[in-house]
Structure 1
Amino acid sequence: MMTMGELPLDQVRTLLAVVDEGTFDAAAAALHVTPSAVSQRVKALEQRTGRVLLLRTKPVRPTESGRVVVRLARQLTRLERDAYAELGLSGAGAGEPTRVSVAVNADSLATWFLAALTRVPEEPALTFELRREDEDHTAALLREGLVMAAVTSSRDAVPGCSVRALGRMRYLPVANPEFAARRLRGAALVEALAAAPVVAFDRRDDFQDGFVRRLGGPGAAGGRRHFVPTSEGFVEAVAAGLGWGMVPEAQAEPLLRVGRLAELAPDSWVDVPLYWQQWKLDSPALAAVAEAVVSAAAEALR
């Protein structure tokens, strides 16, 4: 059986460079070697593992086995940088800010998450690479090794990761008051919601449909469906009267107070539990981010 010690680090790092840069030529430029050398290292790694690790598309994409090696490469890079920093030694990445990649859902990004990052201590110096993704899909980015941590709706730990509960984000069914009076009057609410125009984040977003089904209806597919793929734009589209939608409580409350939004079912809402998942690494940078996020979430979420 092959041990991880048999995977040459130069080959592992080369695979990571190809995935990050998207092409063999770009990876060669980043590594200051020839494209031929990059190709030979990747082929040697595939022969050593006995698996195809890359799909030679444009951009290249890792296979399922390749994602395992990519995740290993990112973790090794993180540990190496932390070790150099703690020892005060020069080396790969020495003197550069530590980059922390996190997957986070759009609604958290628009409400509480950025404020959480301001709580991270200034030392050691960090930079953040945020990947916006639906909370139901952020765990996949962890699994693929594309991020070190994620705000996710899954409490089931991704292999090699730890999980901490953050709290619940509450969503309210709301609409522009004039829209509600025009479109939702004179019928049972569930029937009116199922037939009225609705705002969705993207084509994967069935949150509004799920709410109507919870009320006993067939979903929200009977009316027109508008797709608005930003959290702020989604709220503005609902407030402008394009359709009704499920809006985070933190974004809805200011607009409810000034009359730009009206609650459609004051006794009904949806609470989405959120969790923080991160690699199981003894990394000071990752630990500092985790503590800041958990602390901010305790104040912002239910």
Structure 2
Amino acid sequence: MLAFQTEQLRTLLAVLEHGTFDAAASALHVTASAVSQRIKAMEQAAGQVLLQRSTPITATAAGTVVHRLARQLRQLEADAAAELGLAGAAQGTLAVVVNADSLATWFMDALALVPRDGSLACEIVREDEHHSVALLRSGEVMAAVTAMAVPVQGCTVVPLGAMEYRAVASAGFMARWFPRGFSAEIFAATPTVQFDRHDTLQNNFFSAVTNTELRGVQHFIPDTIQFAAAVKQGLGWGLMPETHCGDGLRSGDLVELVPGRITRIPLFWQRWKIQSAALDLLTNAVTNAATKALAQSNTTTPRRMSA
């Protein structure tokens, strides 16, 4: 039976978090030689190389599995220390990946529901909802807001609801490009605002309307607030969450390209399948906030699935 020592798992965590054996040794207050010996002992026990000796050091496929184990053990230790009321116990930090639009619209409301007694800390990693589960698989995060409905191995998944988007542009942009009203033919020549090169919202909308691929001028603005500002200032058209375009549509400053056409992106909460009081608290806060903020339907009624 494979059995790693606690100090070995902590050492592997330190190496991956700090990037080098020397930096990990400094954080752990041991020698670099001791760090190297612990990692070698782990690799001998596993019968596989766990770390790529690159700069910074990264986990191999086998190392990713052990990394996740080490992160889970650290969280369980932090939960136990909190329940025992141990003074000076290391505080657990919940690493969570969230897409930018959720972070800019409703996810902070979820964090506001978390107890503020200093017993729980969060580290938010921003990543596109279609790519966030990779961080769950690697063990870098413990939970994710994701578009992936199928649970990652070792995780449970709960539907949250759907983000709703409208394709909009400024009134000036529409007057300049569509003086006689919207048409798919002219649409192909108009500039587009994209979030980043992972963003597929605009591409999918354009393809659905024109049956062709988006190839015109594209501006990349990797910040939700500045993305909205770029659209409002007429740099191009783009899809915006209801909460960010509603006032502009009501005032007439923004105009829908195809009135009434809503793009819905279902979102899901995936988390490690471990008994963690901290993760339970965060999960309850996220699901409660999502129920209030996101569009709900029969297909997104909260229910748990696991893998």
Structure 1 partner of 2:99: 105
- Asked if 1:18 corresponds to 2:24, the answer is no
Q: Which amino acid aligns with 1:118?
A: A
Contact 1:239–1:261 (8 Å) recurs in 2: yes
What is the match of residue 211 of structure 2? 217
Deviations 1:169-201 (A, max 9, x none): 011000011111212344763333322100111
Equivalent residue for 1:279? 272
Aligned counterpart in structure 2 of residue 127 of structure 1, from 118, 121, 125 = 121
Instruction: Answer yes or no: is the 8 Å Cα contact 1:104–1:138 preserved in 2.
Output: yes
Identity of aligned residues (%): 51
Counterpart CA distance in 1 for 2:78 and 2:100 is 30
Among 55, 60, 63, which residue is 2:57 paired with?
A: 60
What is the aligned counterpart of 2:84 among 80, 84, 87? Answer: 87
| TM-score between both structures, scaled by the size of structure 1 | 0.93
Instruction: Give 1:27's aligned residue.
Output: 24
Whether the 8 Å CA contact 2:194–2:220 is kept in 1: the answer is yes
Q: Which amino acid aligns with 1:158?
A: V
| Structure 1 counterpart of 2:176 | 182
Does structure 2 conserve the Cα–Cα contact (< 8 Å) formed by 1:175 and 1:241?
A: yes
CA distance in 2, matches of 1:219, 1:236: 25
| C-alpha RMSD of the superposition | 1.5
- CA distance in structure 2 between the partners assigned to 1:122 and 1:284 by the alignment: 15
TM-score by structure 2 length?
Answer: 0.92
The Cα offsets for residues 32-53 of structure 1, whole Å up to 9 and x where unpaired, read as 1111111111122112112121
Does 2:73 align with 1:76?
yes
In the alignment, what sits opposite 2:281?
Answer: 288
- Structure 1 residue matching 2:140: 3-state secondary structure: coil
The reply to whether residue 259 of structure 1 matches residue 252 of structure 2 is yes
- Alignment size in residue pairs: 295
Q: Which amino acid is 2:129 matched to? A: E
CA distance in structure 1 between the aligned counterparts of 2:213 and 2:224, rounded to whole angstroms? 22
Partner-residue secondary structure (3-state), 1:241: coil
Stretches of structure 1 lacking an aligned partner (at least 5 in a row): none
Gaps of 5+ in 2: 296-307
In 2, Cα distance between the equivalents of 1:280 and 1:26? Answer: 31
Q: Which amino acid letter does the alignment assign opposite residue 81 of structure 1?
A: A
Structure 1 residues 17 and 175 mapped into 2: Cα distance closer, same or farther (>3 Å)?
A: same
CA displacement 1:139-190 (0-9 Å, x = unmatched): 1111110111110000110111100010000110000111112123447633
